[in-house]
Amino acid sequence: MTQTTVKQYKEAIQQILLPRQITGLQVLYSFPNASATAKQLAQKIHPSNPAPIIASGMIGRIGKRIAEYCKIDPGTYYDGKERTAYFRLVSDGYTNDKGWTMYPNLQRALEQLNLVNKRSREILERLPNEVMPYEEQELFREGKVTQVFVNKYERSQTARIKCIEHYGYKCYVCHFDFGKTYGKIAEGFIHVHHKVPLAEFNEEYKVNPIKDLVPLCANCHSVVHLSKPVLTVQKLKKLIKL
């Protein structure tokens, strides 16, 4: 298999990886040397069901998307049956003592997209909303498409994870569960709402994942932002009761 370049990884992240898959890469990157066992990775990505097979499956699905987008043949491996080694687009393999170790070029791609902090290995989120780990806004003028970055505030994905570990994946207000309603494709999906919008802060501040953040479904998250100042969670609960 030819080595995947930083440019190829960046394009794949921007164009075809799903938000939860980018989150998975961010979490793997945050471990020392970007290396974690399947169990460690699962505990961070899906704390309500930290089965190692979930993390290993995620690595394989990420690799498959990158391989298909970049038209790379990852080769095969044998575990009683010959299988396509999609994981080789993320890591050279898995061993019980070492775990999954992310390729340096993939690490650089995440760094150059400002999805992670190289010095602290902190996970960052560049988006105006709380969910998608990477997104570009497109402006359409006179038929021409121009990609630009809107004014964005960095968000700590680590704080998001800790918030979900505490509250779970159900909406804090209406108790809607994406996974229960839509099945596996939406399992683990939820917005995380800052009670005080980051735009109101003129400088960086340290987020308390329990006191400052709450998980909200897309509907509740939209409604709290319909008014200015934004509705409090308590007021939103009263609206639902009406």
Q: How far is CA 130 from CA 53, 78, 106, 154, in A?
A: 27, 40, 23, 10
Residue the block writes with tokens 């709402």: 193
Residues 6+ apart with CB under 8 A from 17: 25, 62, 65, 66, 134
Contacts 24+ apart (CB under 8 A), 79-85: none
Closest by alpha carbon to 109, among 25, 188, 10, 177?
A: 10
Q: Is residue 135 part of a domain?
A: no
Give pLDDT, residue 200: 57
Q: Is 95's pLDDT higher than 90?
A: no
Q: Is residue 134 part of a domain?
A: no
116 and 40, same structural domain?
Answer: yes
Token reading at 120: 């602290």
Q: Is 19's pLDDT higher than 70?
A: yes
DSSP class of 237: H
Q: Is 124's pLDDT higher than 60?
A: no
160 and 114, same structural domain?
Answer: no
Q: Is residue 219 part of a domain?
A: yes
167 and 117, same structural domain?
Answer: no
**Number of domains the chain is built from:** 2
DSSP class of 102: B
Cβ distance 16 to 65 under 8 Å? yes
Token reading at 42: 């699962």
Give pLDDT, residue 127: 36
Residue the block writes with tokens 């998980």: 215
pLDDT in tens, 181-227: 998 778 778 888 888 765 555 555 677 888 889 999 989 988 888 87
Q: Is residue 146 part of a domain?
A: no
Residue ending a domain, choose from 122, 138, 165:
122
Quote the percentage of the chain above a pLDDT of 70: 77
Q: Is 100's pLDDT higher than 50?
A: yes
Closest by alpha carbon to 193, among 212, 177, 179?
A: 212
DSSP class of 123: B
DSSP class of 151: P
Give pLDDT, residue 44: 84
116 and 10, same structural domain?
Answer: yes
Give pLDDT, residue 15: 83
198 and 100, same structural domain?
Answer: no
Token reading at 189: 């999906």
165 vs 217, residue with greater confidence? 217
Q: Is residue 143 part of a domain?
A: no
Assign 122 to helix, strand or coil. coil
**What is the pLDDT of the chain when averaged over all its residues?**
78
Give pLDDT, residue 73: 93
Q: Is 134's pLDDT higher than 60?
A: no
118 and 160, same structural domain?
Answer: no
Give pLDDT, residue 94: 62
* Cα–Cα distance measured from residue 148 to residue 185, given in angstroms and rounded to the nearest whole number: 29
Please give the average per-residue pLDDT across 55-67, as a whole number: 92
Q: Is 141's pLDDT higher than 90?
A: no
Q: Is residue 150 part of a domain?
A: no
162 and 64, same structural domain?
Answer: no
Residue ending a domain, choose from 122, 145, 171:
122
List the CATH number of the domain containing 82: 1.10.10
Q: Is residue 169 part of a domain?
A: yes
pTM value? Answer: 0.57
Residue ending a domain, choose from 97, 122, 147:
122
Residue the block writes with tokens 């930083």: 6
Please give the average per-residue pLDDT across 8-29, as a whole number: 87
Cβ distance 155 to 125 under 8 Å? yes
According to DSSP, the β-strands at 155-156 and 213-216 are unpaired
219 and 177, same structural domain?
Answer: yes
Owning domain of residue 85 = 6-122
- Of 119-128, 163-172, 221-230, the poorest mean pLDDT is in 119-128
Cβ distance 212 to 167 under 8 Å? no
Please give the average per-residue pLDDT across 89-118, as a whole number: 82
94 and 21, same structural domain?
Answer: yes
